[in-house]
């Protein structure tokens, strides 16, 4: 991906994933206020971090998939490196 169009597309994809992840992380940390006996920064820190991480990955993937739906992978603007065959070959059956 070397063209400007493809770089912008990749930048948009990364930005949506990061945005979705950040939103989920802040929401996950709100669990500390909602259920402090289970999710906290003391003995429940491991559970809190696992929950926040899982929510972050799921939400980031969800927003990235939504971006892919709206902006599919752009066409390649660079040089076409495929080989084209322009010569035809005629095959005649052998006589018996």
* Interval 24-75: pLDDT, tens: 888 888 888 898 898 888 888 888 889 889 999 999 999 999 999 998 887 7
- Residue 3 above 80 pLDDT? no
Q: With helix as H, strand as E and coil as C, how does 36-78 read?
A: CCCCCCCCCHHHHHHHHHHHHHHHHHHHHHHHHHHCCCCCCCC
Give pLDDT, residue 58.
Answer: 92
Confidence of residue 4 (pLDDT cuts 50, 70, 90): confident
Give pLDDT, residue 22.
Answer: 92
Vertex 22 angle, CA 42 and 20, to 5°: 135
Give pLDDT, residue 11.
Answer: 92
Q: What's the Rg (C-alpha) of the chain?
A: 26
Q: How far apart are CA 27 and CA 34, in angstroms?
A: 11
């Amino acid at each position: 991906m070397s063209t400007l169009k493809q770089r912008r597309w990749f930048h948009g994809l990364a930005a949506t994933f990061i945005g979705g992840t950040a939103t989920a992380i802040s929401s996950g940390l709100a669990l500390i206020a909602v259920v402090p006996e289970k999710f906290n920064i003391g003995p429940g820190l491991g559970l809190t971090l696992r929950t926040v991480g899982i929510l972050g990955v799921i939400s980031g993937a969800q927003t990235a998939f939504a971006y892919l739906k709206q902006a599919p992978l752009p066409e390649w603007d660079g040089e076409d490196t495929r080989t084209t065959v322009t010569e035809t070959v005629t095959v005649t059956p052998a006589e018996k």
